[in-house]
Amino acid sequence: MAVRFKDYYEVLGVSRDASGKEIKEAFRRLARQTHPDLNAGKGKKGAEARFKEINEAYEVLGNAEKRAKYNRLGAQWQEGMPFQAQGGPGSSGVHFEGEGRSGFSDFFESIFGGESQAFEKSSARPARRGENISSDMALTLEEAKSGTRRHYKMQRQFPCPDCGGRGRQGRTVCRRCAGRGSLLGGKDLSVTIPAGVREGDKIRLAGQGNPGEEGGPPGDLFIRIKYQPHDVFSVYGDRIEMTLDVMPWEAALGASVKVATLHGDVLLKIPAGSQGAQPFRLREKGLGSREGKNGDLLVRLQIKLPEKITDEAKTLYEDLARLENDKKVGG
């Protein structure tokens, strides 16, 4: 008795030339939709049957060797011809409504026979390393200069404890992770940031990425460094800049002014007659590097007038104004 071919491509809703990735994505989508735990009530029985059908289709199409054998033996379905079950003389045909001895349909058994008993070994996909993941971390310039240790909470995929990250338990899809092989969870990490780290640098944490497939090793986590905006300093590569407020008489008469840098306080000598926006370079007072060499700090003057002028100060300013006017008139 002839039996009808079971179209696994139609079960998964993919074309016969679909890539392995497309087949896997279709399987995962359908497995989530038909998972028995998500279809309680009257529709649960039908969902279980559909779930098994999807699982069986993926058992074959998700494995290159099984898929090739399936395509070769079942090519007649395109011509609308029945597919004859394998077997020697006297073997009887089977209608493929039910399931075979191991939870697969008789159609599966008719093609692969005893191979279905060792399906896990023959269909095991090669272990694949997990994907790397990236995240940003904002540091103050002081932390970047001196180094620091940060507690970092991340969200990532973890191997499913029920199936060991394989997405399967025996021949069936793992119910806990719905075949994904991983679950989303949080993890607290302690991250050491070395002194001299620069914006754009990446800190690699080995094995803290997404889990591998089929028991493969996890990927890595890369933390990309960014600088927090600073109240005083602006960053220009290795160099940093700042604006220093000085009083008019300090600029006119000269002065020594204390400047707070990333490397401690220093005295900046301002010569008499200095002008606003005039730059002064403090060598090696900028950002450090991992090689131990510091950039420079560029200090620009900003002449600041008193917010309130006393009568005495006003008189002095008036005298200064007269002197300047007399100087202009006298030529």
Put simply, whether the predicted model's pTM sits higher than 0.85 gets the answer no
Q: Kindly tell me if the per-residue pLDDT of 323 is higher than 60.
A: yes
Does 133-227 match 8-123 at the fold level?
A: no
Task: Give the CA distances from residue 166 to residues 127, 135, 213, 271, in Å, rounded to whole numbers and listed in that order.
Answer: 9, 26, 6, 73
User: H-helix or E-strand containing 286?
Assistant: none
Query: 98-112, 170-184, 282-296: which range is least confident on average?
Result: 98-112
Domain at 8-123, CATH from 3.40.50.300, 1.10.287.110, 3.20.20.70, 2.60.40.10: 1.10.287.110
**Closest Cα to residue 279, out of 288, 287, 270?**
270
Per-residue pLDDT tens for 44-96?
677 778 888 888 888 889 888 888 888 877 644 444 444 443 433 333 333 33
Place domain 234-330 in its CATH homologous superfamily.
Urease metallochaperone UreE, N-terminal domain (2.60.260.20)
Going by pLDDT thresholds of 50, 70 and 90, the confidence category of residue 111 is low
At how many degrees (to 10) do helices 44-61 and 64-73 cross? 100
Q: CA–CA separation, 212 vs 235, rounded Å? A: 40
**Class assignment of domain 133-227?**
mainly beta
